[in-house]
Structure 1
């Protein structure tokens, strides 16, 4: 049984140069460590999911480092403490994790070190190669005065991989601030939202936690509504259309992605595929009554179909197909990949799709600033992600469609989920409904 945590991910500079085509840890020491866990905890799958998530946020050194700290720590906790995979974590597990972070055990707390991994002068190390984990590294780090610097000493034969000696500190009481706990909650929740989008887990257990329990009863900010406003959506769609006109070779595909995700409430995995399914144009099928459906393999390898609106077919699907040299409408059993790289290779990764969508969001936000839109009109767009398109579309359509129809197209297993999330008063309508109500003269 593995009881001691060790670092799993390298520094930013080394991480971004990693060979991500290897579907296992690149470093032998990490690979051998992960392989010690029983198959029931799905350690390799959890590691690769965490690695893919970190790769999606590897454009910025500081962001990567912050996300690495919390995602790596969560993965180690699930493997060592809970001894279960991410897919089995429930709301109570998420609460247990936050409590664990408030009061971690002593053997999880250590000094701030310069190198997560060190090189050994010995030709053979415990891990079978000259790189080994820094024995002073711990998931929770605390600062300490130099007076206690002699309490922990680095091995005489080990030097950090960046050539600098780690800073030794003594162990004192670890007490995270409420802002630290909030950051843990936010990043872990974002990580699970990523897995929900990718189909790796069914739900986000952190999202189910009552806000007041995150920091022990301290007031919390209202949760962000993950839907664009009608104004923001107009800017996003118009921006995608402008990008397609200005750089068609690069962005006709981007426009198609934006329109496809929005039109059918799709997740990113619904257009990039899964290990056992790759979407093709033939997944668009017309029934005997002339209705178009998009057939998809969703979460849990569950087959489903989504009703396709006429405007999408006539305006966006046919436009993209003509651009790539296909007939206006998909043919029966057509095997043309739904998405292709600019060089014509089959398929895009989820990371590539999210990067394209982020470029649209960024350009839309820039246009809003250039046109001097008010700050309150732009603020939530700064937090938008790929999954927002699904929520935005469903939010807009809910007043116009029956809950049962929307549930079927969202592929929610429960009608109550659809009703609780989308059939409520919109903030704009809620605000308008009270503006004209007088405080007097009620009649």
Structure 2
């Protein structure tokens, strides 16, 4: 299918050569699925644009082409945009994926997808209304990624002797397309009230149905150790086990993890988590109260006992808790201002929420180590906003009319 598509272009566009260059670049990231998928999205758009819009081989693009591509990404034509993310190909075969399965092109796939904010989707669902139409808008994070990924591709092409220039590095005024934003973590964190309802709801779900003991354990684990979802799912070379939760000679508990960039680290664990959530879940699993250093039991398992859950599965379990919390708070009479953030809440919010709550009580370097931030300034700027508070306080009492 891909070969036939490439053969449809004239020889002057060198479509097959460009495709091979892109594949060679992406092969370097095959060991990290998330990075591979992200890089493929951007460099695939660049290849398609060079063939279908610019009408020139991808390795012959220059600075003006890079600028034109950026403008294109910021405002792509409607026929390049789909309503949701779709698979590029559709598999034909049984429910279980087999090597003998065949594939066809998915006619619904588009290089760009229009995403609707989670909050808007939930409000529309609650009101039984259609979603409002919004123009496509590329996020600032995606804009920065276009420069990074496409720049990396051309550096790869230079190293391979395919070209001599990197058009994306040659763009002088990148600020035209992207801006530096400080993360407003408050907009992606739960309030103390909301978090208390979330954890109580998870506990109530576990009491009502023991199958939700796993859900409660996931919520408590993510929150207690500022984890990313990949820390629970694992990586190609590491899967989290109960034995990764270890006590040192001083009686302190640590979670030994392999995080982003395959960096090994250890995260300090609060006693409350060990005593009230880890012990509870292990007893539910009919294990000893505390894990041993060499225990191989999966940290999270399927209900049938198979080790490991997918990223999507964990997110769905968390979403069920958020949805139940939203309903519960509404039923108990809390106003919309108090519950609205829950409509946007996602798994990663638990990391921000916990770090925000803990920052006033922890040394900045200790929190940085457990969050696994490379730079202390990231932790400081995100969670220690004393300068913002001082700035707000300095203007709060000023009068408009003296």
Question: Which TM-score bucket, shorter chain as reference?
Answer: 0.5 to 0.7
Q: Distance in 2 between matches of 1:384 and 1:96?
A: 36
Q: Which residue of 2 aligns with 1:197?
A: none
Alignment CA distance shift 1:291-1:46 (3 Å): closer
Alignment CA distance shift 1:316-1:96 (3 Å): farther
Q: How does 1:20-169 map to 2 (within 5 A)?
A: 37-42=22-27, 45=30, 49=34, 74=42, 76-78=44-46, 80=48, 98-102=70-74, 131=104, 139=111
Cα displacement (A) at 1:378: 1.3
| Aligned mate of 1:255, from 195, 216, 241 | 216
| Aligned mate of 2:231, from 270, 273, 278 | 270
Q: Which residue of 2 aligns with 1:246?
A: 208
Q: Distance in 2 between matches of 1:3 and 1:103?
A: 29
Q: Distance in 1 between matches of 2:109 and 2:341?
A: 38
The total of aligned residue pairs comes to: 309
Q: Which residue of 1 aligns with 2:119?
A: none
Secondary structure of 2:188's aligned partner: coil
Q: Which residue of 2 aligns with 1:401?
A: 362
Give the TM-score taking structure 1 as reference length. Answer: 0.58
Higher relative contact order (CA 8 A, sep 6+): 2
Cα displacement (A) at 1:38: 2.9
Q: Which residue of 1 aligns with 2:296?
A: 335
Segments of 5+ residues of structure 2 without an aligned counterpart are: 7-17, 52-65, 82-87, 91-101, 114-132, 147-174
Tell me whether 1:226 sits opposite 2:213 in the alignment.
no
Cα displacement (A) at 1:272: 1.6
Tell me whether 1:370 sits opposite 2:331 in the alignment.
yes
Q: Distance in 2 between matches of 1:402 and 1:234?
A: 24
Asked if the contact 2:185/2:382 (under 8 Å) is kept, the reply is no
Secondary structure of 1:285's aligned partner: strand
Alignment CA distance shift 1:3-1:423 (3 Å): farther
Q: Distance in 2 between matches of 1:80 and 1:258?
A: 41
Cα displacement (A) at 1:371: 1.2
Alignment CA distance shift 1:253-1:438 (3 Å): same
Q: Which residue of 2 aligns with 1:295?
A: 256
Q: Which residue of 1 aligns with 2:139?
A: 185
Secondary structure of 1:225's aligned partner: helix
Q: Distance in 2 between matches of 1:272 and 1:263?
A: 17
Asked if the contact 1:5/1:139 (under 8 Å) is kept, the reply is no
Asked if the contact 2:26/2:36 (under 8 Å) is kept, the reply is no
Q: Distance in 2 between matches of 1:117 and 1:274?
A: 25
Asked if the contact 1:41/1:79 (under 8 Å) is kept, the reply is no
Q: Distance in 1 between matches of 2:263 and 2:34?
A: 21
Q: Distance in 2 between matches of 1:138 and 1:260?
A: 37
Alignment CA distance shift 1:439-1:73 (3 Å): same
Q: Distance in 2 between matches of 1:298 and 1:426?
A: 31
Secondary structure of 2:193's aligned partner: helix
Alignment CA distance shift 1:223-1:319 (3 Å): closer
Secondary structure of 1:296's aligned partner: strand
Alignment CA distance shift 1:397-1:228 (3 Å): same
| Aligned mate of 2:267, from 276, 292, 306 | 306
Q: CA RMSD in A?
A: 4.8
Alignment CA distance shift 1:396-1:312 (3 Å): same
Q: How does 1:197-208 map to 2 (within 5 A)?
A: none
Alignment CA distance shift 1:436-1:49 (3 Å): closer
Structure richer in helix, relative to its length: 2
Deviations, residues 344-382 of structure 1 (Å, cap 9, x unaligned): 111111111100000001111111111121111111111
Tell me whether 1:324 sits opposite 2:285 in the alignment.
yes
Q: Which residue of 2 aligns with 1:355?
A: 316
Q: Which residue of 1 aligns with 2:371?
A: 410
Give the TM-score taking structure 2 as reference length. Answer: 0.63
Asked if the contact 1:117/1:133 (under 8 Å) is kept, the reply is yes
Alignment CA distance shift 1:264-1:102 (3 Å): closer
